[in-house]
């Protein structure tokens, strides 16, 4: 798995006694570098877990071929990738398992929560037990068994009906939500093109195989100190433009899984120069103009 991700990616495995092995990312998409996965494999490897950063797909053809060659399952962390595509395949539906998040920061939100997508039917039954606190209650409700019992590990992973209704209303409006987000994303992209040409910043790169979902608009600044200075400048203008993931391999808890001999140079470099811009459904064009103008005025005052 990449180190450049949220803790949930690693926790899912660590909670079951597995040990994450971190792989560096690609400089263009900030996704796991598929060319570095094979050398991270060992006879103990149980799965390959990829993260589709900012709703931009990993190089899934290469990753699936590698997984096939080594007979390993692929888990897609598509937390940020709901309604994004890789060559017309929805993210989260390509590997053996896909994970969505409906955390409040995602395109579709139930406050907290998520979904597991299962491609191999053989895992579906067990997933239902785990979801239902380790019982076969779902089978009982369908009339397949005449009582339900404790049959496996599990927990209270079900969202309540109220929470599900809150999410469902957004999924019914998915096209409206997505077109608004895409318009805001494109507007940033167009407005900041000139600054990229002058090498003041780098905009997101979307490979032609990907249809992203406008989950995030981020910038890469030339140095960490420029990034931090711009963040402070935007803060003084009332704009919250945060950085993003701190690499897991260097985190207080993640360090134990990292030998420390090697480094993950792309992960360390890009995470220290990245900044996210505000992008949400209710964001007005006037507010967005204020962000764009503030970024432009920061760079014109520097030169
Ligand atoms: C949001 C997110 C998750 C899931 O977060 P939860 O709060 O556990 O829903 C996992 N991976 C990535 C990359 C995320 O951005």
- Tell me: the pLDDT tens digits for 150-190? 999 999 998 999 999 999 999 999 999 999 999 999 999 99
Q: What band does 120 get if pLDDT is binned at 50, 70 and 90?
A: confident
Q: What is the dihedral of CA 136, 140, 146, 151, to 10 degrees?
A: 0
**8 close to ligand 1 (CB < 6 Angstrom):** yes
Q: What is the pTM of this model?
A: 0.96
Q: What is the distance between the alpha carbons of residues 273 and 224, in angstroms, rounded to a whole number?
A: 5
**110 close to ligand 1 (CB < 6 Angstrom):** no
Which residues are registered as beta bridge partners of 77?
51, 99
Q: What is the distance between the alpha carbons of residues 231 and 228, in angstroms, rounded to a whole number?
A: 5
**5 close to ligand 1 (CB < 6 Angstrom):** yes
Mean pLDDT on 38-51: 98
* Per-chain mean pLDDT for the chain: 96
pLDDT for 236 equals 98
Closest CA to 215 of 100, 127, 112: 100
Mean pLDDT on 190-196: 98
- φ/ψ of 109, rounded to 5, equals -130, 140
Whole-number Å distance, alpha carbon 209 to ligand 1 midpoint, is 24
Does the pLDDT at position 303 exceed 70? no
**6 close to ligand 1 (CB < 6 Angstrom):** yes
Q: What is the distance between the alpha carbons of residues 71 and 46, in angstroms, rounded to a whole number?
A: 9
Does the pLDDT at position 302 exceed 90? no
What tens digit of pLDDT does each residue of 252-271 get? 999 999 986 779 999 999 99
Whole-number Å distance, alpha carbon 109 to ligand 1 midpoint, is 12
Does the pLDDT at position 74 exceed 80? yes
By the 10 Å C-beta count (0-12 exposed, 13-18 middle, 19+ buried), 240 is classed as exposed
**77 close to ligand 1 (CB < 6 Angstrom):** yes
**11 close to ligand 1 (CB < 6 Angstrom):** no
Q: What is the distance between the alpha carbons of residues 54 and 211, in angstroms, rounded to a whole number?
A: 11
């Amino acid at each position: 798995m990449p180190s450049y991700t949220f803790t949930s990616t690693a926790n899912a495995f660590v909670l079951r006694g597995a040990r994450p092995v971190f792989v560096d990312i690609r400089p263009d998409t900030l996704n796991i570098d598929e060319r570095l996965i094979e050398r991270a494999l060992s006879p103990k490897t149980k799965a390959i877990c990829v993260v589709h950063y900012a709703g931009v797909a990993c190089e899934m053809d290469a990753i699936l071929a590698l997984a096939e060659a080594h007979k390993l399952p692929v888990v897609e962390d598509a937390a940020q990738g709901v309604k994004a595509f890789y060559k017309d395949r929805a993210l989260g539906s390509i590997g053996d398992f896909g994970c969505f998040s409906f955390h409040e920061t995602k395109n579709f939100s139930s406050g907290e929560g998520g979904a597991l997508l299962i491609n191999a039917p053989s895992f579906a039954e067990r997933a239902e037990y785990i979801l239902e606190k380790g019982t076969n209650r779902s089978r009982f409700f369908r009339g397949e068994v005449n009582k339900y019992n404790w049959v496996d590990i599990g927990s209270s992973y079900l969202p309540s009906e109220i929470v599900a209704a809150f999410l469902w209303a957004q999924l019914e409006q998915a096209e409206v939500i997505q077109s608004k987000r895409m318009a805001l994303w494109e507007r940033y992209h167009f407005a900041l093109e000139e600054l990229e040409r002058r090498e003041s910043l780098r905009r997101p790169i979307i490979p032609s195989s990907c249809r992203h979902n406008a989950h995030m608009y981020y910038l890469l600044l030339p140095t960490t100190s420029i990034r931090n200075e711009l963040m402070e400048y935007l803060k003084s203008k009332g704009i919250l433009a945060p950085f993003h993931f701190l690499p897991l391999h260097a985190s207080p808890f993640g360090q134990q899984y990292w030998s420390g001999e090697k480094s993950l140079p792309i992960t360390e470099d890009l995470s220290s120069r990245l900044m996210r811009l505000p992008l949400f459904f209710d964001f007005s064009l006037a507010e967005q103009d204020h962000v764009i103008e503030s970024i432009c005025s920061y760079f014109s005052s520097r030169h």
